[in-house]
Amino acid sequence: MNFATRALLELQETTLLAARAFGGVFKRPRYIPETIAQMDAIGVGSLTIIILTGFFTGGVLTVQTFPTLKAYGAQSQTGYLVAVSLVRELGPVLCALMVTGRVGSAISAELGSMVVSQQIDAMRALGTDPIRKLVAPRLFALLVSLPLLTVLADVLGIFGGWVTAVALYSVSSSVFLSAVRDAITTDDLIGGIVKPIVFSLIIGTIACRQGLSTEGGTVGVGRSTTRAVVMASIIVIIADYFLAKALQVILGTQ
Amino acid sequence: MAAEIHTTAPTISENAAESTFQEVDDRDRAIPAIEFRNVVLAFDDRVVLNKLSFKVMKGETKIILGGSGGGKSTIIKLVLGLLKPDEGQVLVDGVDITNYSEQQMMRVRKNIGMVFQEGALFDSLSVYDNVAYRLHEQGVPEDEVEPEVRRMLRFVNLEDAIDKMPIELSGGMRRRVGIARALVGDPKIVLFDEPTAGLDPPTARTICELAMKLRDLEDVSSIFVTHEMNNVQYICSEYAVVDEDGKVIFEREGERLCLTNSKVMMMREGKIIFSGTDEALRRSEDQYIQRFLRGH
Ligand SMILES: Nc1ncnc2c1ncn2[C@@H]1O[C@H](COP(=O)(O)OP(=O)(O)O)[C@@H](O)[C@H]1O
Ligand SMILES: [Mg+2]
């Protein structure tokens, strides 16, 4: 099979997996405890890295842009630049990449080791559909957590930018904040939520699919984990490009 | 399969034991529990099962012997519908399940217990939750689950381990928990995939005894995959009975009766090279079989 065929096949399998996971959402048994446990693991568990990522990204945005803006006498617009970069791009994308690294890899490794130790077969033999018991709760938890984490990263990023601007560059706090308020439009907020929803589906389905298609023992688990992280990261970045353009067209802001 | 396995109410068990040895005319019993008809299965270009046909009758234990990679686990997965054949049919209780959907298979699997090669316990769940898995999935209330789990763990002699996590168990204990988990719901068909591989002889013997108890006291049909000849020896020449005190004991065939409900099937490279009784296997003049029996 050549590369294109394989890629198409992979796309088909991944889409089917997502469809089957969501198809079972309204049927019994519903795996509510599993879903809550996953939200805890994925959402609450990622808080620390998201807080750190958000804060320092906002900070470094101020560090890098303030001198340039000052050269043009536009230092009062630091807040504007920090907020726009974060809400439109860096918040969603960095969050998705961090979650891919932390959660995507964990999902794929966990499902992969369940495959190689025959736990998935055992589950099916005992009458449970692993897609509904394992995949759906993870997808759903990601779908809820990632937008929330993204909002958190945005807020902390702006906070980090504000701290840096006020403490290091003596920008007045009210100037920074009013620039932030000017910067963020409704369209940005819509984009800031739509993107993480799409990204969460990308990360979740790819990680689950790679995990469940693990072959070849423990070595295979490593391979599928790597593949999950690499594929999800790249596709997130590519999807971000097209989403940005699509949102501009849809919202009429080009 | 109830408390009578172990202690009380020997009457039911004795009846079950007798019926196993009788030549039963009942038309229902003439339907094989498992039947393969010309099953072919290939992974990519590799043909793993090549026009395989065999039957496992009700109450019968079919021992499948064969070297690694011979397709033994694949047979078991086909019975459960975890894999689908490329050609041919798989029948369970006379019903063709070859084209069953995953959802239809779920119903078939309710009546089948499966013991995996390494136990395949869920390592995020305790022994209790592992054994209770099927019941929890079916939403059985907790006060009914607990006695059932204890009964199953007593059957495999592991009641003490109820609160342990799988990681804390030895290989033999994991296998036995796997058996307990498979037996919840009293399946009439139990599939064992190398349940004794890598175990010390006394533990392996215990596992064979469990299989014999299921066969002789519970009228379970089973496939028992192994490559240990002493497993064959045990299963084909001994049987379980309940003595006057209600204890299960094992007797050798010969004095009172001759075992006819255990058959041996030998696989090699996806084909059946022998099928019959263990005596006939020993008498076989096939080079490969002789080497397999002698071990050199
Ligand atoms: N999922 C799979 N993909 C490709 N090949 C497989 C798969 N499962 C089993 N095989 C191959 O099928 C053959 C039979 O496997 P198996 O039934 O596990 O053998 P056994 O249990 O007798 O040792 C082996 O050669 C194995 O490599
Ligand atoms: Mg095997």
Residue numbers in B near A129 (CB within 8 A): 102, 106
Q: In this structure, are B177 and B248 located in the same domain?
A: no
Q: In this structure, are B250 and B274 located in the same domain?
A: yes
**Across the A/B interface, how many CB contacts are shorter than 8 Å?**
49
pLDDT tens sequence across A113-165: 999 999 999 999 998 999 999 999 999 999 999 999 999 999 999 999 999 99
pLDDT tens sequence across A100-111: 999 999 999 999
Q: In this structure, are B152 and B287 located in the same domain?
A: no
Do B148 and B184 form a contact (C-beta atoms < 8 A)?
yes
Q: In this structure, are B100 and B234 located in the same domain?
A: yes
Name the residue of chain B whose CA is nearest to A118's CA. B120
Number of domains composing chain B:
2
Nearest to B137 among A119, A121, A128 (CB): A128
Q: Which pLDDT value is given to residue A224?
A: 95
Reduce the DSSP state of residue B248 to 3 states and report it.
Answer: strand
pLDDT tens sequence across A187-242: 888 888 899 999 999 999 999 999 999 998 899 999 999 999 999 999 999 999 99
Q: In this structure, are B24 and B107 located in the same domain?
A: yes
d(CA B262, CA B65): 13
pLDDT tens sequence across B19-75: 444 454 566 778 899 999 999 999 988 899 999 999 999 999 999 998 888 889 999
In a domain, B234, yes or no: yes
Domain closes at, from B154, B186, B218: B186
Q: Do B120 and A124 touch (CB under 8 A)?
A: no
Residue numbers in A near B106 (CB within 8 A): 127, 129
Q: Which pLDDT value is given to residue B229?
A: 86
Reduce the DSSP state of residue B88 to 3 states and report it.
Answer: strand
Q: From chain B, which residues contact A within 8 Å (Cβ)?
A: 77, 80, 82, 102, 106, 109-110, 112, 114, 116-118, 120-123, 133-134, 137-139, 181
pLDDT tens sequence across B215-225: 988 889 999 99
Q: In this structure, are B98 and B127 located in the same domain?
A: no
Q: Which pLDDT value is given to residue B255?
A: 59
Ligand 1 first shell, C-beta below 6 A: B 43, 48, 66, 68-74
Residue numbers in B near A125 (CB within 8 A): 80, 82, 109, 112, 114, 116
Q: Which domain holds residue B169?
A: 114-186
What is the DSSP secondary-structure string of A102-129? IIIHHHHHHHHHHHHTTHHHHHHHTT--
Q: Out of A22-31, B26-35, B76-85, pick the least confident.
A: A22-31
In a domain, B196, yes or no: no
Which pLDDT band holds residue B257 (cuts at 50, 70, 90)?
low
pLDDT tens sequence across B104-156: 999 999 999 999 988 899 999 999 999 999 999 888 999 999 999 999 999 88
Q: Which residues are within 8 A (CB) of B277 and not within 5 positions of it... i.e. 6 or more apart?
A: B236, B262, B263, B264
Q: In this structure, are B118 and B265 located in the same domain?
A: no
Q: In this structure, are B107 and B130 located in the same domain?
A: no
Reduce the DSSP state of residue B38 to 3 states and report it.
Answer: strand
In a domain, B266, yes or no: yes
Ligand nearest to the CA of B68: 1
Q: Do B82 and A121 touch (CB under 8 A)?
A: yes
Q: In this structure, are B88 and B57 located in the same domain?
A: yes
In this predicted structure, the answer to whether residue B5 has a pLDDT above a threshold of 60 is no
Q: From chain A, which residues contact B within 8 Å (Cβ)?
A: 29, 117-119, 121-129
CA B71 to chain centre: 17
Taking only Cα atoms into account, the Rg of chain A, rounded to an integer number of angstroms, comes to 21
pLDDT tens sequence across B165-211: 999 999 889 999 999 999 998 999 999 999 988 888 888 898 899 89
Q: In this structure, are B105 and B172 located in the same domain?
A: no
Which has the closest alpha carbon to B247: B1, B8, B3, B69? Answer: B8
d(CA B89, CA B192): 21
d(CA B224, CA B57): 14
Q: Out of A82-86, B192-196, B284-288, pick the least confident.
A: B284-288
Q: Do B112 and A117 touch (CB under 8 A)?
A: no
Which pLDDT band holds residue A254 (cuts at 50, 70, 90)?
low
d(CA A94, CA B13): 65
- Indicate the residue type of A233: S
Which pLDDT band holds residue B7 (cuts at 50, 70, 90)?
very low
In this predicted structure, the answer to whether residue B241 has a pLDDT above a threshold of 90 is no
Nearest to A126 among B77, B117, B137 (CB): B137
In a domain, B191, yes or no: no
Domain closes at, from B186, B216, B247: B186
Mean pLDDT of A177-185: 91
Ligand nearest to the CA of B117: 2
Name the residue of chain A whose CA is nearest to B107's CA. A127
Mutate to test the interface with B, among A31, A126, A132 (most CBs of B within 10 A): A126
In this predicted structure, the answer to whether residue B3 has a pLDDT above a threshold of 60 is no
What are the beta bridge partners of residue B115? B192
Q: Which pLDDT value is given to residue B28?
A: 74
Taking only Cα atoms into account, the Rg of chain B, rounded to an integer number of angstroms, comes to 19
d(CA B224, CA B214): 12
What value does the mean pLDDT of chain A take?
A: 92
What is the DSSP secondary-structure string of A33-101? HHHHHHHHHHTGGGHHHHHHHHHHHHHHHHHHHHHHHHHTT-GGGHHHHHHHIIIIIIHHHHHHHHHII
Q: In this structure, are B16 and B107 located in the same domain?
A: yes
In a domain, B181, yes or no: yes
Q: In this structure, are B223 and B289 located in the same domain?
A: yes
A131 CA: distance to closest CA in chain B (Å): 12
Name the residue of chain B whose CA is nearest to A133's CA. B137
Ligand 2 mean position, distance from CA B195 (Å) = 10
Q: Which pLDDT value is given to residue B256?
A: 58
In a domain, B69, yes or no: yes
Do B145 and B135 form a contact (C-beta atoms < 8 A)?
yes
In a domain, B193, yes or no: no
Between the CA atoms of B24, B27, B33 and B39, what dihedral angle is there, to the nearest 10 degrees?
120
Q: Which pLDDT value is given to residue B181?
A: 94
A246 CA: distance to closest CA in chain B (Å): 39
Q: Which pLDDT value is given to residue B87?
A: 93
In a domain, B4, yes or no: no
What does DSSP assign to residue A132? I
Q: Do B117 and A118 touch (CB under 8 A)?
A: yes
For residue A46, give Cα distances in angstroms to A102, B249, B288: 8, 57, 58
Q: Which pLDDT value is given to residue B108?
A: 92
Q: Which pLDDT value is given to residue B26?
A: 64
Ligand nearest to the CA of B83: 1
A68 CA: distance to closest CA in chain B (Å): 53
CA B28 to chain centre: 21
Angle CA(B36)–CA(B41)–CA(B45) in degrees, nearest 5?
165
A240, exposed or middle or buried, with CB in 10 Å at 0-12, 13-18, 19+?
Answer: middle
For residue B53, give the CATH number of its domain.
Answer: 3.40.50.300
